[in-house]
Amino acid sequence: MIKLSKVDKRIYKHLNLSNKLQCLLIEDKDAEKSAAALNVQVGAFQDPRNAEGLAHFCEHMLFMGTTKYPEESEYQHFISKHSGMTNAYTSTTNTNYFFTVANDQLDGALDRFCQFFKHPLFKETCIEREMKAVHSEFNMNLQNDFWRKFQVSKLLAPSNSSYSQFMIGNLDTLGQVNRQQLVDFHSRYYSSNLMKLVIYGKQPVEQLENWATTMFSDIPNKNYCRPNVEIEGSQIIKNKLIRIVPINDDDHLDLIWVIDYLQPHFRNCPGKYIAHLIGHEGQGSLLSYLIKENLAYELSCGTQDEAFKFSELYVSIKLTKKGLAQYQHIIELVFNYLNILQANAQIFKEVQSIKNLQFDYLEKQNPFDFVGALASRLHQYPIQDILKAPYLMENFDPNLINNTINQLKRNNLNVFLQSQQFQGQLRNFEKYFGTEYDISDLTFQNIQVNNQLFHLPNLNRYLPNQTDLLANPNNQLYPTVIYESAQSIVYFKQDNIFNVPKTFIKMRQYLDQIGKSISNEVLGAIWQSLLTIHLRELFYEAEVASLSPSVSLVTNGIEYSLAGFSESINKFLPDMFNKVLDFKVENYKDNYDTQLVKLICDLENFSRSPPYSQARHLSMLLLRDCGSFDPEDLLKTIKLIKFEDLIYFQNHLMDKCRFEWLIMGNIQQNNAISIVQQSEELFKQSLILRKEEVLQVRSINIPDNVIYNYTRYLNSETETNSSVILYFQLESGTVRNQLIVDLLSNIIKTPFFSQLRTTEQLGYVVFSASSDVRGITGFQFLIQSSLKCPKYLQARIREFIKTFGINDLTREQFEEYKQSIRVSLLEKDFSLGREVGRFWGEIQRHQNLFDRREQALSLLDTIDIEEVKNYYKQYLIEHPHQIEIHVVSPSHKLEQDQLPNTGLMSTNAEWIKRRVPLYPDMYSLL
């Protein structure tokens, strides 16, 4: 019997097919989309030594056609056309495939999906192209510090073990792979007894069972045992210091212990208990002391199971420059904290209580994520625990806990230390990513620290004592205004759908000091970093109690967000506001320089982020008149800031303000009004900020007779990728206009991806999407490539736009795309948090179209195929209003400079913005 949460009304059925394929079927009568996932217990550990990355390559190739559906993009096109998404991933031990689709198309999707595991074609014509796609994915990750460190860590394993191999694959490792090797790999490892299937749909579970049986029972069963990985925890080299030069200017210290395999103890969770204590951020914690001494910014702790043989417990610390210099002292502090750890029944019971509450009132997840996670979990846990496993802490076993703690010794430890300060000093370069590193024996200072610095967590003040649902006589569909004053407006909706004892509060505090100047942007960032230190202990205690508090600067003020159990909210909210109001930067002068250095590093790291990510940020900088700033300009400004400027900024930050609230959930109207009035009293010293004084952010109005080209040349010699965005501005985003744009997006996205990624192999990151900039719709095409410069890429995009067969679209196909939009509009919010997010978006846009989906549904049938075709021709071909954003790698600079410009090119965003008019702010309060 599967253990269900108190709010889970879905029907579950578990069965084993005749070929030993294990299935979990989920009937959800409220599902607006269906989903499925299949996990194969084979991964990179099964790669042959002469074809590293083969499991990953095989995953790619399964999307390239099957005997029954031979067209390369047929599966993706079918899913996309029917409101769905697809994805897959390969890990060391698993390969997981998953999708969502419209309810009435689940059988068709499953029929295509099951062919992956029976009759993939592995076409010769696709092999070389998809091999390049894998290589592009590898190139994209060359600058990724996670992958770089991960590959260095494999050097601690025996070199003849598959544990030490390279798992992504590239042209060097896969260049000699032929079709037969792919066929053999699939035939050997893709055995039904190693597969777990999850199907999630609105249909009766009997129908789901019928589909599972008829479509998946004939997947061949080779009775293949779970592949063994030739590695034991004892074979991992230990007691080493591994120094690494990262791409980003981030200093990190990672302590990793190899310990006994924890998975068999998943019900009693010694690792979860220990990680809770080491990772605690409250009073007396390791992190609190490290922050107080300016040694660290962040700390996390967790466990990871490895190769079905052993586990690792890690403590990961983001260091300050002072902490980097004193990393050995920090290691001693960690060991001194470990000395106070013990099996404590009271703490275990509290964590157990929290986990039980979290599970009992667990809201639905997005089916896309849910099925993928469950398919993986089916390999790990008995079926009765499949849903509750992440929340299980059943029995307090002090011997098990203390035995695990006792394994955290010096002789069982490896330390990873990464910093750009090591650049040019280390002796070795890792084979695949070129990471500079060295490995040496670990030495210790053995300094005794005053253990009174640390203590185990206090009992949590914010745990709820009761979870009753409040009476709610109304059938209210949308938020309504329940309170309005000169300073505040409050939208409210008592939950009548999800019936969970939770409350969500969103509040925007508009301020006149935010977003108006670049110096205020910098001061605001420093202010928030010090505020985060001030709030950390309080907020962490709240997070442990399943509250989700946040206070963050936004374009025109501060946004407060709080969600959790209703009783806990009532206890915590006054503490949160009082803590914010008693914050004084003067009390954190000792942390100021450290936080300033962190902000500088973060800004400098922008230029090291993936080029497509930079292009997207720069597009927002270019398309809005204010509210976004160039990291390069912020870096120049930060050097002019003094601590006295921060004090002045703080003293005047809340001179004037006004508030916008959304309160939803298990809370009654009078309580909501009381919360707001009490908060107004707290901020009574502030003057009222008038609506017309709130910062307006306006979209630029791009003319149709000129193309502006904004170019950013990258300085990183190690970055091999360039990126381009071709942005077309459309018109104001009325509900009807947005529908037309969404239809175009659905029509274009799969052919665009298929042509420019699958066929032309220009890069791994290829997509098209609609956008909204302050109420003005747009459409963007994006490519990141290690092969070609942005000018070449934009030329290929333009060729696609020109030759795309929009006129060949039939009425039947058009109706299918409309149906896909209809399915998305009919999709209900699967959780209270999702509903809150949708309504809060409407409030922040100041359009308050809470029935936007219903309006769109009523308008959808008024849109004709010819209107969409003409829209495409007018805005993308005949009279385009367009801007190009080019991010150029040093490896592409020569090619970029040799090709002609398509328009007016500038490396200065302000130069472009000064030459174009502005739209009014469609999201203004006015």
Asked if the domains at 11-216 and 233-343+397-453 fall in one CATH topology, the answer is yes
Parallel/antiparallel/unpaired status of strands 240-244 and 436-441: antiparallel
Q: Does residue 445 carry a pLDDT above 90?
A: no
What CATH number labels 480-693?
3.30.830.10
Q: Does residue 573 carry a pLDDT above 80?
A: yes
Residue 492: the pLDDT is: 98
> Per-residue pLDDT tens for 278-318?
999 999 999 999 999 999 999 999 999 999 999 999 999 99
The pLDDT confidence band at residue 926, using thresholds 50, 70 and 90, is low
- Rounded Cα distance between 862 and 851, Å, is 18
Two structure tokens written together for 58: 């095989």
Per DSSP, 62 falls in state G
- Rounded Cα distance between 306 and 300, Å, is 19
> Per-residue pLDDT tens for 155-179?
999 999 999 999 999 999 999 999 9
**Does residue 521 sit in helix, strand or coil?**
helix
> Per-residue pLDDT tens for 754-811?
999 999 999 999 999 999 999 999 999 999 999 999 999 999 999 999 999 999 999 9
Segment 562-589 shows an average pLDDT of 96
Residue 474: the pLDDT is: 85
Domain boundaries, the chain: 11-216, 233-343+397-453, 480-693, 708-913
- Rounded Cα distance between 36 and 109, Å, is 9
> Per-residue pLDDT tens for 499-524?
999 999 999 999 998 888 999 999 99
CATH topology assigned to domain 708-913: Cytochrome Bc1 Complex; Chain A, domain 1 (3.30.830)
Q: Tokens 């967790």 appear where?
A: 302
Q: Does residue 451 carry a pLDDT above 80?
A: no
The pLDDT confidence band at residue 50, using thresholds 50, 70 and 90, is very high
Q: State the Cα angle at 116 between 112 and 117, rounded to 5°.
A: 125
Q: Does residue 616 carry a pLDDT above 90?
A: yes
> Per-residue pLDDT tens for 119-148?
999 999 999 999 999 999 999 999 999 999
Total residues found in the chain within this entry: 926
> Per-residue pLDDT tens for 232-281?
999 999 999 999 999 999 999 999 999 999 999 999 999 999 999 999 99
Q: Does residue 680 carry a pLDDT above 90?
A: yes
- The number of C-alpha atoms within 13 Å of 338 and in the hemisphere containing its C-beta is 22
CATH of region 233-343+397-453, choose from 3.30.830.10, 3.20.20.80, 2.140.10.10, 3.40.50.620: 3.30.830.10
CATH topology assigned to domain 11-216: Cytochrome Bc1 Complex; Chain A, domain 1 (3.30.830)
**CA 18 from centroid of its chain's CA atoms:** 38
Cβ pair 457, 282 in contact under 8 A: yes
> Per-residue pLDDT tens for 481-501?
999 999 999 999 999 999 999
Q: How far is CA 664 from CA 7, 365, 473, 569, 849, in A?
A: 18, 19, 15, 12, 17
Segment 71-88 shows an average pLDDT of 94
- Rounded Cα distance between 864 and 586, Å, is 63
Residue 491: the pLDDT is: 98
Residue 513: the pLDDT is: 85
Q: What mean pLDDT, rounded, does the chain reach?
A: 96
The pLDDT confidence band at residue 925, using thresholds 50, 70 and 90, is confident
> Per-residue pLDDT tens for 179-199?
999 999 999 999 999 999 999
Q: Does residue 227 carry a pLDDT above 90?
A: no
Per DSSP, 873 falls in state I
Q: Does residue 856 carry a pLDDT above 80?
A: yes
Segment 217-221 shows an average pLDDT of 97
